[in-house]
Amino acid sequence: MISFIQKQWFLVGLGAAALLGYLKPEWGVVLKEFDLFRVGIFLSFLATGLSLETQAVFRQITAVKAPLAALLSSLVLYPLFAYAAARPLLPDEMAIGIAIIATAPVTVSSGTILTAVARGNVPLSLLICIFSNILAIFTIPILLDLLLGVGHRVELPVLRMLGSLAVTVLLPLILGQLLRPLLKLVVRRWNRQIAVFQSSIIILIIFNAVSSSTGSLGEMGAALPGVFLFTIGLHLAMLVINNRIARLIGLDRSSIIAFTIHTSQKTMAVSYLVWAGYFATDYPAAFVPAIVCQLTQMTIGTMVADYFRKRNQLHPSTMR
């Protein structure tokens, strides 16, 4: 049991945070009063900027088709497909939640970690991560306004949302890259601790989201299993779609792995900023799909990475 907790501490932490948030929702009020979540997300993206290997990443820019296809898949195809599927199958509040997580950029750390485990193209994974998180600042307000304007009466302050995301996500990424030459050795020495800190922020976000949604969660009843099933199906579908896209554009083996895994994942940190800033009051349970998505993509992503790694070992010259 202890060995399992040590290896899977992040998944255990996600479950514990969800349970604690449900049982002790009043604790979340204290954290929100000091705006600790927004500060934590800012510091998390600052750490990401400090950790990114800029030179290795920019060498991938010459291969334009891979990052361009990844951006189109993650920031356009994913949200359009996800919301179109969610509207007839899920309650309105859950469909809005699907739209929020679907428009988010790819994960910052876990996607790259899983790519490395699967023996994939890590520089390409990092490039997808950087470009997706930068471009999403501009696409999220536009796409949410478009999607929810069609199916729901949700008015979004697009420009204010754009400015808020730029300050909390884009600014720390840029600052981290500017400071990287000065702090490279320190970051390398504390790399594991930085990864633990970023994962801890996600755990805190889940705690806050559940503590803010306890009333709505209790009223969901039979709808909750439906959200789980839908999110699992959505993630599996995007893994298959992205794998097909990667093959269609003629990527090599390691790049197919990076494209398949990282382009199919979404970040909870940015989704939280959008939900907390513009949806939490009217749609308190709309963050549930993001929580389920995080659990789903970590568990399935780990299995997919392990599959690629083992297949690569068995058939190193033929795997496509």
Q: What is the pLDDT of residue 23?
A: 82
Q: Which residue has the higher pLDDT, 320 or 194?
A: 194
How many CB atoms are located within 10 Å of the residue 20 CB? 17
What is the band of 157 on the pLDDT scale with cuts at 50, 70, 90?
A: low
pLDDT of 90 strictly over 90: yes
Over 60: is that where the pLDDT of 235 sits? Answer: yes
Both structure tokens of 23: 């049982």
Written out in words, the top-level CATH class of the domain with range 25-314 is mainly alpha
Provide the 3-class DSSP secondary structure of residue 190.
Answer: coil
For residue 101, pLDDT over 80 is answered with yes
Q: How far is CA 64 from CA 60, 68, 114, 128, 132, in A?
A: 8, 6, 23, 11, 14
Listed in sequence order, the residues at least 6 apart from 120 whose beta carbon sits closer than 8 Å to its beta carbon are 254, 255, 256, 257, 258, 261, 308
Q: What are phi and psi of 315, to 5 degrees?
A: -130, 65
Contact status, residue 106 vs residue 265, Cβ threshold 8 Å: yes
Q: Taking the domains of the chain in order of start, what are their residue ranges?
A: 25-314
Per-residue confidence (pLDDT) for residue 35, from 0 to 100 = 65
pLDDT band with cut points at 50, 70 and 90 for residue 214: low
Instruction: Check pLDDT > 70 for residue 7.
Output: no
CA separation for the pair 15, 149 (Å, rounded): 34
Query: Quick one: pLDDT at residue 102?
Result: 96
The DSSP call for residue 76 is: I
Residue 320 reports pLDDT greater than 60: no
Q: Quick one: pLDDT at residue 71?
A: 94
Q: Give 282-318 pLDDT, tens digit per residue.
A: 888 898 898 888 878 877 887 888 788 778 766 555 4
Token pair 């820019």: residue: 61
How far is CA 310 from its chain centroid?
25
What confidence tier does 12 reach under pLDDT thresholds 50, 70, 90? confident
